[in-house]
Amino acid sequence: MCWVIVVVAAAVAADASPGMPGFDAALEQVVFDGHAADAAHQAESTVGVRGDFAIVDAGVAGAGPGLVVRAPSAWGETSLLFNAPFGDGLVRARFRVGDNLDHALVFRARLESAADASAEVDGGYGLTLEHGLARLVRWEHRIPRFLGSEQKLEPVPKAGDVVEVVVTAGGPWLQATVFAGATMTRLAHLAVVDRGFDAGQVGWRVGRNDRGSSLLFLSVANTSPPAVPSVRDLTWDGEVSGAGVDRLLTLHDVDVDRLPLDLQKKVTVREGGLAFVATDPIGVERVRRAGIEIVAHKTQMPWRHVDAILRTRLGKPPTKTSAGFRVDESYKDETMVADLLTAYAERFPKITRLVELGRSGEGRRILALVISKNANEAPIPGVRDTVVHRPAVLLDAAHHGGELLSPEFVLDAIQQLTERYGRDKDITHFVDGAAIWCVPMVNVDGNHRYIWETRDYDRKNARDVDGNGRVDGWDGVDLYRNYLSGWGGLGEIGSRSWPYHYRYRGPEPGSEPEIQAMISLAAREHFVASIDYHTNATKILVPYTDPSMENPDVNEGWVIAEEIAATLPIQVNKKMYEVARNLYPVDGTAQDYFRSTFGTVALLVEGPQNNPLPYDRTRNANVIPGRGIWQGLLRRVIEGPSIRGTVVDAAGSPIEANVIVSEQAPKRGEQWTARPRDGFFQRLVPAPGRYTLIVKSAGNKDVIKNVDVGAGPLRVDVVIR
């Protein structure tokens, strides 16, 4: 028996009919069944009992007979372990609630002393249902430790209600689903990883508050040999599983005609002698019962099977228009993004240049389109990739490969900046006044995996963390936690050291080629301002997001973000963009790195929705009302109050001096230096007024200038002699 079959069994529990739908004796071994004639005997086949249980044959209508607590143990909790070992596989149980929901399904459990059948459960796992919450718990020496986050049961089962729970386990990966017994609608779903116990008994534990509750049914399916967990069916650490109910079946193409008609309509792709069917657990069961061979069965089906609009566009070149190109036809894989950037560079050669920043772990190109007046000229002999004496601004997206909406914000900016240049006064001003680096897709490998292979680990890149020679579901690094500053500084809160974790920070700071590419770009350009796009919180996040990093007393980034947010309309999700800092604990981020290393006003924009569908009705509704963010930031850099200029020596050579506005000086010794290649610097200030500019360079006296900044940029050139 393989793990996939266990998934089928788990899936059957999602059937909307009451009772025990789709139970398959070939898969599941009954441990206790209140209906069975030998129920009493079953109840006796326990390895540990604390308290007094009895079989009753008159349950609440429809619930059937069950095992009830006749007398609770002295200190209230009542438990029993059945003589049914469980390691990897599935456990299913039905309970009827007594006075108050307060009981637990126990699994992989053991007694304190095997010799003492009345001993308390010493160690093991439980799915506890109490106080309206579902929680996964690990007991060690009787002490409970809650794993992951709790889930509210909605609605909370009441006295007399029947509840069904299904637990699946494979190695350290545990997940549990709670259903309303009458309708089999899902009430909660939990998933964690824990390495405490790999096998033990199954059982039932009743809290002191739940008098009269009864166990109706308990079954176990052990995979044998113990399953290598299918990573496609599990997630971890308390975050609600994205495994969901969607299933992708791979069948032989010749079998499509044998499928029920409605399932034939769910065939998404036919290629290479195979056919893919996007369905749900019930569909899987129907295919199986039709005797059709299932070549592969997984959840987290890759995005191309979810998104019919994308399927019509994959592999096609950009669509030309009179002004440029369509950028709003579908979500995009990394090839479509590269094709668009190339097309724009060819069509607008005077104001754009295509730059390869580096290669991803799997060798894909990480591309930037730099947009600026005369971008393709070579202003310094021998140095091509530069635009001198102009502020550089970065718009990037998709550090998290599965955030498909995020590149759309940057591609929209590219379209606006190129196609409306020379026609729109503001746009022309932006392109003439700044070098705008557009990097719509940082995590090209993650995007590829999300669209083509699996939506597991949607955020991570393609590092083979377990070194098994291939990139499978648990691999990858969370690129947004791999930057140099504050890397891992918050311990196991802001990011994780465990390689399989969703938020794995990587083996060392800046370990990932994608991040190395971004770091060397930033080191060359010293961005004055940047926006890193993500989804989906409808927030503009301001550094420092790491609470251990102290901001300047006047955090001009915050002031500017507030200014911008105030200009924005209500968004598609009926929310306004809010400015926030430290939305959740996170370390090793791009924005803190850019801020701490270069003084960049580094904003992170969490767009309103995550990968909304259908694309043609949601994309522009998300992207267009957010244009004011990048436009507002560019306007602020080009037209707003600031101090800019160059630092050079007597011979005119640039000096990498530390340039500080003392009213908003960094607090932890950050060195915010002029740009190495041309000595350019620009410091945005919160408002017009008098400021003190301090220029520090090694071996030279500090240059201190009191300056009056008006409504726009004040030019201050410093020559160090």
Cβ-based nearer residue to Zn ion, 538 or 664: 538
Block residue for tokens 């995996």: 449
Q: How many CB atoms lie within 10 A of CB 649?
A: 15
The least CB distance from residue 534 to Zn ion, in Å, is 3
- Of 130, 123, 122, 140, the closest CA to residue 104 belongs to 130
Please tell me what DSSP assigns to residue 226: P
Q: Dump strand ranges (E) for 172-213.
A: 173-180, 186-193, 200-206
Cβ-based nearer residue to Zn ion, 250 or 571: 571
Cβ-based nearer residue to Zn ion, 205 or 534: 534
- Of 598, 562, 589, the closest CA to residue 682 belongs to 598
Query: Taking CB under 5 A as the criterion, which residues in 389-428 touch Zn ion?
Result: 400
Q: Helices (H) and strands (E) in the chain — how many of each?
A: 15, 34
The least CB distance from residue 444 to Zn ion, in Å, is 15
> Per CB under 5 A, does 635 bind Zn ion?
no
Encoded tokens for 674: 């002029």
Say if strands 539-541 and 578-580 run parallel, antiparallel, or are unpaired: parallel
Tell me, rounded to whole angstroms, the distance of Cα 577 from its chain centroid.
Answer: 20
The least CB distance from residue 516 to Zn ion, in Å, is 19
The least CB distance from residue 334 to Zn ion, in Å, is 16
Cβ-based nearer residue to Zn ion, 428 or 610: 610
Rounded alpha-carbon distances, angstroms, from residue 189 to 63, 113, 516: 23, 33, 38
Encoded tokens for 548: 């251990």
The least CB distance from residue 457 to Zn ion, in Å, is 13
Q: What are phi and psi of 163, to 5 degrees?
A: -125, 135
Cβ-based nearer residue to Zn ion, 407 or 686: 407
- Of 408, 347, 336, 344, the closest CA to residue 370 belongs to 344
- Segment contacting Zn ion (CB under 5 A): 242-250, 357-365, 526-534, 625-633? 526-534
Please tell me what DSSP assigns to residue 636: H
The least CB distance from residue 365 to Zn ion, in Å, is 21
Cβ-based nearer residue to Zn ion, 165 or 541: 541
The least CB distance from residue 538 to Zn ion, in Å, is 14
- Segment contacting Zn ion (CB under 5 A): 372-380, 532-540, 617-625, 701-709? 532-540
Q: What are phi and psi of 533, to 5 degrees?
A: -95, 135
Cβ-based nearer residue to Zn ion, 96 or 400: 400
Cβ-based nearer residue to Zn ion, 135 or 399: 399
Cβ-based nearer residue to Zn ion, 247 or 534: 534
Contact 122, 142 (CB under 8 A): yes
The least CB distance from residue 480 to Zn ion, in Å, is 6
Nearest-angstrom CA–CA distance, 447 and 455:
9
- Segment contacting Zn ion (CB under 5 A): 190-198, 252-260, 533-541, 635-643? 533-541
Query: Taking CB under 5 A as the criterion, which residues in 553-582 touch Zn ion?
Result: none
Nearest-angstrom CA–CA distance, 439 and 519:
13
Cβ-based nearer residue to Zn ion, 386 or 535: 535
Encoded tokens for 334: 């990394």
Nearest-angstrom CA–CA distance, 227 and 458:
24
Q: What are phi and psi of 211, to 5 degrees?
A: -65, 140
- Of 669, 499, 478, the closest CA to residue 588 belongs to 478
What is the DSSP code string of 58-104? --STTT--EEEEEE--TTS-EEEEEEEEESSEEEEEEEE--SS-EEE
Rounded alpha-carbon distances, angstroms, from residue 157 to 98, 138, 182, 509: 10, 23, 11, 47
Element (H, E) at 74: none
The least CB distance from residue 575 to Zn ion, in Å, is 18
The least CB distance from residue 401 to Zn ion, in Å, is 9
Number of residues that this document lists for the chain: 721
Nearest-angstrom CA–CA distance, 509 and 505:
8
Alpha helices in 213-276 (DSSP H): 261-264
Q: Which of 534, 619, 644, 683 binds Zn ion (CB under 5 A)?
A: 534
Query: Taking CB under 5 A as the criterion, which residues in 664-693 touch Zn ion?
Result: none
Cβ-based nearer residue to Zn ion, 365 or 534: 534
Cβ-based nearer residue to Zn ion, 610 or 618: 610
The least CB distance from residue 396 to Zn ion, in Å, is 12
Instruction: Spell out, one character per residue from 349 to 388, where the chain touches Zn ion: x when CB under 5 A holds, - when not.
Output: ----------------------------------------
Query: Taking CB under 5 A as the criterion, which residues in 221-260 touch Zn ion?
Result: none
- Segment contacting Zn ion (CB under 5 A): 187-195, 351-359, 415-423, 529-537? 529-537
Contact 138, 132 (CB under 8 A): no
**Size, binding site for Zn ion by CB under 5 A:** 2
Alpha helices in 25-161 (DSSP H): 39-44
- Segment contacting Zn ion (CB under 5 A): 63-71, 351-359, 466-474, 530-538? 530-538
The least CB distance from residue 402 to Zn ion, in Å, is 8
Cβ-based nearer residue to Zn ion, 610 or 671: 610
The least CB distance from residue 410 to Zn ion, in Å, is 14
Binding site for Zn ion (CB under 5 A): 400, 534
